[in-house]
Amino acid sequence: MLSGDLELMLCHNPLGAKQLAHDRCIAILSGHSHGSQIDLPWLRTLGPVHPGLSLSLGVTTLIVSRGLGVVGVPLRVGAPAEMVWIEMRRGSAVQGRSTRMVST
């Protein structure tokens, strides 16, 4: 790596992001949780606390996508599929914007 290079990392499970975040890592893109897939109040404690959000880990931004897929049962309740659009510009913070997928 050159001295001015920055890193953009992929980490399947967002639980590993804290170990990867460091001064030259601008963002970590993650998923794994499917946004809890079936998001009911009593099930929320089983998944990560941050599906579908972006969090600051010092200078690193963690972006967790709900994704498009499912695990096991082909059903989503309260956790719509999403694609995340990430725009990076020189000299500004990383920003992620969610696009929810609606099936017709």
Whether the CB-CB separation of 23 and 59 falls below 8 Å is answered with yes
First to last CA, the chain: 46
Query: What residue spans define the domains of the chain?
Result: 7-100
Whether the CB-CB separation of 77 and 30 falls below 8 Å is answered with no
Whole-angstrom distance, CA of residue 35 vs CA of residue 70: 10
Prediction pTM value = 0.72
pLDDT, tens digit only, all 104 positions of the chain: 666 788 999 998 888 899 999 999 999 998 876 666 777 777 666 665 555 678 889 999 998 888 888 888 888 887 788 888 887 777 666 665 555 544 43
Whole-angstrom distance, CA of residue 33 vs CA of residue 43: 12
